Every structure is written in structure tokens, then in C-alpha cells.
Amino acid sequence: MHVTGTASPSAPAPSENPAVPGEDPHGGAGRHARRFGLPVATALVMGNIIGGGIFLLPASIAPYGTVSLVAFGVLTVGAIALALVFGRLAARDPRTGGPYVYARGAFGDFAGFLAAWSYWITTWVSNAALAVAAVGYLDVLIPVGGHRWTACLAALVIQWLPALANFAGTRYVGAVQVVSTVLKFVPLLLVAIGGLFFFDPSRLGPFNSSGHGAIGAVSASAALLLFSYLGVESAAVSAGEVKNARRNVGRATVIGTAGAALVYLLGTLSVFGTVPHDRLVHSTAPFSDAVNAMFGGNWSGWAVALAALVSMIGCLNGWTLLSAQTPYAAARDGLFPAAFTRRRRGVPTVGVGVTVVLASLLTAYNYLSGSGKVFEVLVLVTTFTATVPYLLATAAQLFHLVSGRAASVDRGRLVRDSVITVVAAVFSIWLMAGAGYAAVYQGALFLFVGVLVYAVMAARRGRRAEPVAE
């Protein structure tokens, strides 16, 4: 680890061992491996941000009252700050891996491993949470939520369908992502814009019904809402698969995050103003309930449920790819098992397979253990694990700025980048605190298991690097 201007031998230069997008390590590039342009990269960011979270979270944060809308506004500022930080870091080092690459480049192997490990946990736990959210909307179309066994089976099927699309190659991943991103805007825009015409302030409920102070309520609801913004780093994590990554990753990240934030704020406000508060608290498909309240009957709710289900499967499609990209980058550097480097048609297949199996096991455990709030439990765990790589990435940017390694020599831009980075760092720490003791406890256990994995991998690397005795 290095903290001065001297380069660390464990932190490679950006040109060392670059990820070669679209290549099969055993056979070269194929027609199923294709690099993403700006539109697809933006769709990847928006598709991963606007996934299952927004379709269920209005009901999850309703118990806090309308104070959660304040949390949404604060969260949006922090998310855009993070987007700008990722854009600057990607312009400096446009390799696949995102926070892992940035943390390792600034602080060495251990910090890079922690970023990769924590982000990897975030992705497969998020996939489990998305599948749980999707079951709520599937239940509107087909009754599957009445028994935990059928709900669990449905969640597992929803997880494995996107995994199969990933095994088919990045060409199909990109196609599914664009189509699902377009389709998800149908119910979101219908509620976000149309709901404003049916808005009734009397349905909002109390401002703060959490039983805590306003600051505590904002922090607690923001911890749940962070799940809605997971994916802001999507283009950075897949930078090796993006055309002209130094320019397009930053643009896709900022455009995708800002667009998602606008839809989020309007959509949540409209749901709060169309569905009575006492009903929203117990809703399993709040957007369907909102459309039913707007137009009456059930047909419109069914249409929204179908679009929401397609949206969530598309989101899982993108998250499944991201879940394999970070361990792939770490494995190329010897910090994850070598099996994670195996690629087929541009997709790290071992990473996809391991991720979907872990997410499936976690989903089954949470359903069969009898937890009454599976989605909330999973979301809070990802809140903690996501903030670890976010904080390490902002620390890396702060390191470059203070050490004089930032690409910009313009004083005004340097000050602006410093302010944005500090906002992103404070925001990450605040979210970690707001996740609550239980989530921090469970997330810390995941991290400590990772320390043991790092010890084994570091020992193996050291043994390979030792000179052979004469």
C-alpha cells in the first residue's frame, strides 16, 4: 500500500494487464461479443438504477411518512456527486472493474480486494432482493405469493432467466438491456406524470410517522432508498466493454443518474399522492395500486405489473453482468480465484454462474426462514456493502486530487472536483451509518470472511512470485 507519491509495485499502471473487451481468453472475439456505445452504456446505467427497487420502495418507505421524500432529494444530490466522481475516475483509468480498479490503483492490493469483494456481495445480494420485488408484481398476474414455497420458486426462476441471457453473450445482454429500459418507462412515466393529475394531498399521510426525530427518519429511509440508486457505477464497472470509455463512461453515468433521479422523484411523489397512506404501507405492488386508483378497475394494474416485471428481469440482466465483471478484473490481478477469468462471448461465465447460485441460496434462505420482510432485510445489507466500494472510490479520487495526480491542471476545476468528492465521501459515510446496526453487523461479517479469502490469495501469489532455489 502506498500513501505517498511513490508508486506501489502492487498497484499497476493503467496500461498494465488491461481487460480486453469482447475477447474469449481461449478463442478470441466472437460475433456475440460487442462493445457498448454511449446509448447502450446509458441504458445500462439507467436500466440498473431503475430496476426493481423503485417499483416496491414506495411501500417500503411509506411507514416513515412523507419525510422520506426529503431523503429522496438528499440522496439524489449524493448520487449525482458519486456519478461525477466515477466519471472522473473512469477518464483517468478506463478499465473494467470500476471501484476495484480505482481503489487498487490508489492504495494497493488489499484496498482493491475489499472494494471488489464488497461490491461483488452487493451485486448478488441485490439480485436476490430484485427477484423478491419481482414476485410481488408477478403475484398481481399469477397468484404465487400466497405460500412461501411458490414465492421462493418464482423468485428463483426470475433470477435464472437473465443468467441464461448472459451466458448467450454481451450482444444479447445489450439488446435485452435496451428493450427492458424502454419498456420500464411505460409504467414509470404513466405514474410519474399521469399521477400528478390525480394527486390528492390528503392521501400523503403524516410527515414523520417513524417515531424518531426528523434527521433519524431521513437517515433510516435513505438507507432503504439507496438500493434504488445502486447501479450508478454500472458504466464504470463495465468500462472495458464501452467504446471510447474515457469520454463515454462519464457521460453515460451522469446522464443515466440524472434521468433516473427525475423519474424516481416524480414517481414516488405520485404514488404517495394517489394511494392512501394506510393502504400503501401494506402494498406489495404500489405502482399497480396507483394506476388502479387513477383509472379504476384492475386491468390497468395488470398492465403495469407486466411492464414492471419485464423491467425487473431486464435489471437483473444488467446486474448479473456487473456481478461477474468486478471479480473478473480482480481475478486477472490474482486477487480472486483464477476461474473467474474465464470468458465466453465477452461474458465472465464463471462469475455469472457463481453469482446466480449464491443469490439463489440467499433467496431460498430468506423465504424459508420465515422472514416477514425479506426485501427490506436484503436491501439494508446491500446498503452497507455498497458504501464500502463507493467510499474507497471517492477516497481514491481524493488521493489523486491531494497528491497532484489529477488530470486537471485548471484551478477552478480542481476546486470543483474536490468539493464534489468530499460531498460523495460524506454521503457514503452517512448512508453507512443510516443502514442501522443490524445491517452493518451482517455486512461486516461478509467483509471479514473476505479478509480470510484475501489471506489465501495473497499467500498463493507470494508463493508463485518466489524465486526457484538453485
How far is the CA of 261 from the CAs of 59, 107, 217, 315, in angstroms?
18, 32, 20, 16
The pLDDT of residue 470 is 47
pLDDT at 13 over 60: no
Instruction: Tell which wins on pLDDT, 86 or 148.
Output: 86
How far is the CA of 436 from the CAs of 75, 188, 240, 429, 433, in angstroms?
17, 30, 35, 12, 6
Q: The C-alpha cell of 186 is what?
A: 411505460
Distance CA 412, CA 417 (A): 9
Distance CA 323, CA 357 (A): 12
pLDDT at 17 over 50: no
- In the chain, % of residues over pLDDT 90: 6
pLDDT at 33 over 60: no
**Of the candidates 88, 95, 117, 90, the residue with the CA atom closest to the CA atom of residue 17:** 95
Q: Which domains does the chain have, with CATH numbers?
A: 31-458 (1.20.1740.10)
| pLDDT tens digits for range 78-136 | 888 888 898 888 888 888 778 888 999 899 999 999 998 998 888 888 888 788 778 87
- Report, as an integer, the average pLDDT of 177-194: 72
pLDDT at 433 over 80: no
| pLDDT tens digits for range 329-388 | 888 888 888 888 888 766 788 888 898 998 898 888 877 776 556 666 666 777 788 888
**Residue labelled with grid coordinates 432482493:** 129
Contact assessment for residue 90 and residue 381, using Cβ atoms and an 8 Å cutoff: no
Distance CA 396, CA 85 (A): 10
Question: Exposed, middle or buried by CB within 10 Å (0-12, 13-18, 19+), for 85?
Answer: buried
The pLDDT of residue 60 is 78
Instruction: Tell which wins on pLDDT, 313 or 241.
Output: 313
The pLDDT of residue 399 is 92
Average confidence score pLDDT of the chain: 76
pLDDT band at residue 34 under the 50/70/90 scheme = low
Q: How many residues does the chain have?
A: 470
pLDDT at 205 over 80: no
pTM here is 0.72
| pLDDT tens digits for range 285-333 | 787 788 888 877 666 667 777 777 877 777 787 778 778 888 888 888 8
CA dihedral 63, 145, 376, 65 (to 10 degrees): -10
**Exposed e or buried b per residue across 180-219, where buried means at least 16 C-beta atoms within 10 angstroms of its C-beta:** bbebbbbbbebbbeebeebeeeebbbeebbbeeeeeebbb
pLDDT band at residue 408 under the 50/70/90 scheme = low
To which H or E segment does residue 344 belong?
strand 343-344
pLDDT band at residue 12 under the 50/70/90 scheme = very low
pLDDT at 9 over 60: no
